[in-house]
Amino acid sequence: MNKEIKLNSVEGGPFTTSQNRVSFEIPSDGVYDLQSSYINLNCEIQVTETSTAEGIGIYPMDVLVGGTGNDRPQYPNTSLVKNCSMRTARTGMVEDIRRSDQLQSLIYALNRSETQKDSRSYDAVSQIPNQVNVQQYGLYRDINKLGTVKSKQNDIAPIKIKLEDLFDFCAQAIEVDTQKCGTITIRCELNIDKLAPVQRFKSDDWPDALKSNFEEVNAQGDANTIQTKSKFTNLDQSPYYVGQKLKVSATGAGGAGNITDKDAVVDQIVWNPDGTISLSFEQKWGDVGAGESYTAIEVETQDIAAASISINFAEIVLTRLAKDKSDFSQIEYSTYSTEQTNGNGLTSFQNQFQIEAESDAVLIAFPSDNDDLQSVNGDVQSYRLRLDNVDLTDRDVEMDGPLHYDRLNMSMTQLRMRLRDLSQNLRNVDESNFLDSILDDDTTTNMIMSPVQQKIQEKLLQVNINAAGGGVNKLSIFKHLPRVFSY
């Protein structure tokens, strides 16, 4: 019977900007399926509240990766790994990829359709708004919308990074016999400095009816429970959850004083038969005397004072197969070599790069100055590539023109992948509306890709780029290299 085993990283946590390297050793004791294995970075978000006098609240939290201002792309989980390598004790280096974060973000934008991105969103390091109810919750809290069980802060929220997404070798390695190749060592350098916690789904994003459409409270005694006038056919429509800290405001009548921004933590939620929802709180937010009542009841979410994120420990989850040895003697895969340079703002950029003899495709990314995870340069207008003084196209290729898309498709085929999304949009996790999120120009990527001919000797690639405005600045060149692993 196959087994799943967990191994902690060689380095202990918590991991910080200065201690950002993790490594794992897969023992030489059997056959492993690396395609279904993955790394867990166990994350925790701690919150400092503005006040705890009226109880402790639970706040929906998420993580922003890179980006600046309102430009916050939804990067794949692999973007947390800046550089990575894999080697075996007996066969040596398998893969060693520099700026894997840029490469994987580039491929993710093209190789995943919108449906695929949505279907995997549940385990994404950053969440975009749900396209049905426009709500936004992350991995870092368990939210309960009914009953009395309080929502909770996850002390261990695993960010899952599949090995097959980091290494093409692992995507092909459904059976690796470590008794033949020896101990496998995986090393990763993490982008801890690019992580920032953020509070999600605040009342500013709610429809007005969910903030103010409540029944009058006139029962004599403690004002504790409020009932919505809105009716819900599905709990997914409700923005309320147990443990939520709200600020309650109400207009007093019959002698009752007005209530302004009174902190109250939701203690119980009842979904009534008529579709309305009743919210009860841990403590009373007002008093109702004889002939008194509260009308115009409104609620708002409470803002946190501060938040911090920590990755406490890392582990690798391996699938060990129930067999003594592998049926495969060799594995065909591919990897990448990386070269980085700077165009220094040239509007007519020309440079020549050395390409390995076996390379069959090149990917050119334009890391932005503010966020080098995203490939974007809106000033690039056209380009032309020459291999050993032979043009790869018979004319200049206009960015986002038909020939450009043809080159993208040819290159993805060469990478043994499919071109599934021509929007090239990473989606903005800071937009509160789903359509705005997936159509945001600030998170649209652009890149140059082209297949190249394999030769028996090293070749020279000449890159000519025409740009306007700020010209060409940072460039990362990824060269696709076919490999064969054998015992």
pLDDT reading at 276 higher than 80: yes
In whole angstroms, give the CA distance from residue 159 to residue 157: 7
Query: Each residue of 331-360: pLDDT tens digit?
Result: 999 999 999 999 999 999 999 999 999 999
Q: For 95-132, give the DSSP string.
A: EEETTHHHHHHHHHHHHS-HHHHHHTGGG-SS-PPPTT
Query: How large is the average pLDDT for residues 240-257?
Result: 92
Query: Each residue of 24-80: pLDDT tens digit?
Result: 999 999 999 999 999 999 999 999 999 988 899 999 999 999 877 667 889 999 999
Are 476 and 365 a contacting pair, CB within 8 Å? Answer: yes
pLDDT reading at 152 higher than 90: yes
Sheet holding 184-190, edge to edge: 21-26, 184-190, 81-88, 92-97
pLDDT at 430 (0 to 100):
84
Q: What CATH number does domain 204-302 carry, 1.20.120, 1.10.3470, 2.40.30, 2.60.40?
A: 2.40.30
User: 318: which residues sit within 8 A by CB, 6+ positions away?
Assistant: 4, 5, 6, 7, 26, 32, 34, 37
pLDDT at 449 (0 to 100):
96
Are 85 and 93 a contacting pair, CB within 8 Å? Answer: yes
More confident residue, 119 or 176: 176
Q: Where are the domains of the chain?
A: 3-200+309-486, 204-302
pLDDT interval class at 328 (50, 70, 90)? confident
Burial readout 146-173 (b: 16 or more C-beta within 10 A, e: otherwise): eeeebbebbeebbbbbbbbbbbbbbbbb
